[in-house]
A and B are shown apart, each in its own frame.
Chain A
Amino acid sequence: MLLILSNVMIAVALFFMAFGIIGIFRFDDFYSRILISSKVETVGFITMLLGMMLRTGWDYSTLKILLIGLMAIITNPLSTHAVARSAYISGYKTGREKKDRG
């Protein structure tokens, strides 16, 4: 039963990651791309780690995977924010804003 549940969770995580890949290829603005990567990647990461925790059972490995998940929840939005802030401060404009200005 736990094996089937973990297989379902792994499949859902792979679907989320596939949506993230489609997102970074379809959007043509940088800010849209970084938004879709931040959201979808974090959800796929957490779902995959849940599937792995269900598969290992109750062990030391479960706590280590939980620690990696907490680390990812904290650091993934921070690094995305750092990249977006760097692009904004450096004066990156999307195509629409350039068209409005002149």
Chain B
Amino acid sequence: MTTLNSTLLVISVYIFLVLIRVIMGPTIWDRLLGLNMITAKIIISIIVLAVLTERSYLLDIALVYSVLGFIGTVLIARFVERKGKI
């Protein structure tokens, strides 16, 4: 089980690196891109945690999180595209 623990550690380091890109991103679309990547990495870490602790209800949480992340990214992108009128 040490593989899954180190996988969680490496994924958290990746999330931190993408957070640097979000903070220093020149435009708002770079920050949206970072939001999208962080959402994917959080879904992966939830799945790794579910396999590590053998609790299968965490996979439902990962499914709901993927749907909510998709809706959030698309809504913020359309909000910026139409200049405040959704």
Contacts and interface: CB of A to CB of B under 8 A. Distances in A.
13 contacts: A10-B3, A37-B36, A41-B37, A55-B51, A67-B63, A68-B59, A72-B40, A72-B66, A78-B70, A82-B77, A85-B81, A87-B27, A92-B29
Interface of B: 3, 7, 10-11, 14, 17-18, 21, 27, 29-30, 32-34, 36-37, 40-41, 43-44, 47-48, 50-51, 56, 59-60, 62-63, 66-67, 69-70, 73-74, 77-78, 80-81, 83
Contacts of B74: 78-79, 82
B36 A80 contact: yes
Contacts of A90: 80-81, 83
Contact of B59 (A20, A61, A86, A92): A61
Contacts, number: 112
B47 A49 contact: yes
A59 to B, nearest CB: 8
Given A14-B7, A41-B37, A45-B40, A85 B18 contact: no
B33 A34 contact: yes
A78 B78 CA distance: 13
Contacts of B56: 59-61, 64
